[in-house]
Chain A
Amino acid sequence: MSVLHVTGLSKKFGGVNAVEDLSFDIQPGAVYSIIGPNGAGKTTLLNLLSGVYQPSAGRIAFGEHELTGRAPYEFAGRGIARTFQNLQVFFHMSALENVMVGRYLHERCGIVSTLLRSPRLARAERACREEAAEIMRFVGLHNYLSAAADAMPYGALKRLEIARALATAPKLMLLDEPAAGLNPTEALELDNLIVRLTERGVTVVLVEHNMRLVMGVSDHILVLDYGRKLAEGPAATVRNDPKVIEAYLGGAVAHDGSYGNEIASVVAAAVEMHR
């Protein structure tokens, strides 16, 4: 049974088709990566898959639940969590509170017991605090348990978003460029974290430019180009797909020389895999 079922998904911004007629399934328990040149529609796709954008056409179903046209909080309620490329951390709160907010779906209670602070709620709050601390340790934020969010470095904030998403106890986690802005050591630790996420039973959808990371952890890859599906399949197949190499090496170079780094890393990764 597929976890996430996407059919004919499109998103138009004015006359631009950011995502066009995409269909794919995401299987449970795997790392599913979405790659493509800048502007290929990767982030738009993630916004569609988390309900932040409403699709212009097409359907999104999660298990047997139809999610098309639902609000983001309903996507979250079904077990889809996400992080953001441009951080959406709650900067006025402590790091721990950020993660505690992630527990919301499991902690919320009626207005009367909230206002009167029932003993049950007080106990649940203590448990929530401990659980949030546990999740922070899991993602490697044990040094920031009593930190204020606005006092944390960038790399830690990226992990904090993962911790907050993990706190919702998701079935599917969408990571939007988790390695962007990280130094090489932090990026290496991220591989390990993604693997441990899948070991917890979380299906990971990864949008990422760091090809070393993508090739290292992905089971399945979807390649987008101009909002359309260019290739899809197991990581080993996609890596050798001539169309993919063309999009990254041929097309991209012709459009814009700034893809140099990305291409170099693709080539490096490909060479490494073939060795």
Chain B
Amino acid sequence: MLSRLASPRTGGLLALAAAIAFLPLALRNNYFYDIAILVGLNAIVCVGLNLLIGYAGQISLGHAGFFGLGAYGSAILASRYGWPPLAAMLTTTFAVAALAFLVGRPILRLKGHYLAMATLGLGVIIFMVITTEDKFTGGPDGIAVVPFSIGGLILRDERIWYWVIGALLLIAVWLALNLIESPAGRALRALHNSEVGAEVVGINAAEHKVMVFVISAVFASLAGSLAAHYSGFVTPGKVTFLHSIELVTMVVFGGMASTFGAVVGAAVLTTLPQLLTVFKDYEMMVFGAVMMGTMIFLPRGVVPSLARFIRSRRQKGSAASNGEAA
């Protein structure tokens, strides 16, 4: 039992749950809650995106587009057409999943990084449609969104949103960990290593890549829907190519192929700009510098590098104590 608690899987989930539970002690006002919720939403996107980048070895440069589709889908269906927010969210999610499938299926049959190109194009198209179709989307001005409600219960308070997003982030991480530790997850890691090696034991590489691409798009879409209802307003600002790059940077910074790394990456790179508001105009430069610095000094990302450092320290420590005993 103790060993199960100490496993990276259960231990990590418990640590994350504890962090979410105790963080409010440090959140002095609604502004802090607002940042924490933003971190949670970005973390959900990054956990999904990390499955694609870290495990399937594919890059998406259009996840802000899926995030935006989620946000606008919910906004339009719930606010313009008066759908119940939950129904609007689920319908939007299914539509985004279908879109990701349609785009991913032909592209991911090709070997190589064509998905990056395709998603880059898709993200730009989504952005253009959202800014020009102002009858539905409000164009560059954006669109107001009704608050989230289930039955008669209306979700307005930042503090309640915090707990909802926190719980959803935990669930997202749990789902991602389940996927990684499954036959499908092993198949993904295997084909990332050697595609032909994976194929000859019966793994359909293209099918797995499409599956994980759709899952990552669904995570982004759900986060987008929640973000729209939470902030009560959506603008095309979060649908830009730059935001897609930010999301990829968060995953790379935190550590590819590390689910908790994705959460840490989202946390650091979401709060950093808030702390460094003086850099506002140079935000992208800071992001670029962070990306470059990570690639040069921590190519495996912050969390995996840290884990390796601690493990080697511990091994050295136990070797030293063994030496003393002998």
Contacts and interface: CB of A to CB of B under 8 A. Distances in A.
B203 A73 contact: yes
Given A90-B189, A104-B183, A111-B211, A72 B199 contact: yes
B144 interface: no
B178 A116 contact: yes
Q: Which size bracket describes the interface of A in this complex?
A: 35 or more
A52 B196 contact: yes
B18 to A, nearest CB: 22
A111 B197 contact: no
B184 A93 contact: no
Interface string A51-83: 110000000000000000001110111000110
Contacts of B238: none
Nearest to B199: A72
B48 to A, nearest CB: 12
Contacts of B211: 111
B192 to A, nearest CB: 7
Contacts of A186: none
Given A90-B197, A114-B178, A76 B202 contact: yes
Nearest to B176: A115
A76 to B, nearest CB: 4
Interface string A69-109: 00111011100011010001111110001101111110111
A133 B225 CA distance: 45
B200 A76 contact: yes
A103 B203 CA distance: 10
Given A52-B196, A90-B197, A104-B183, A77 B189 contact: no
Contacts of A128: 183
B182 A73 contact: no
Contact of A100 (B186, B192, B194, B202): B186
The 5 closest A-B CB pairs, nearest first, are A88-B197, A76-B202, A72-B199, A90-B193, A105-B202
Interface of A: 50-52, 71-73, 75-77, 81-82, 84, 88-93, 97-98, 100-105, 107-109, 111, 114-117, 121, 125, 128, 164-165, 167-168
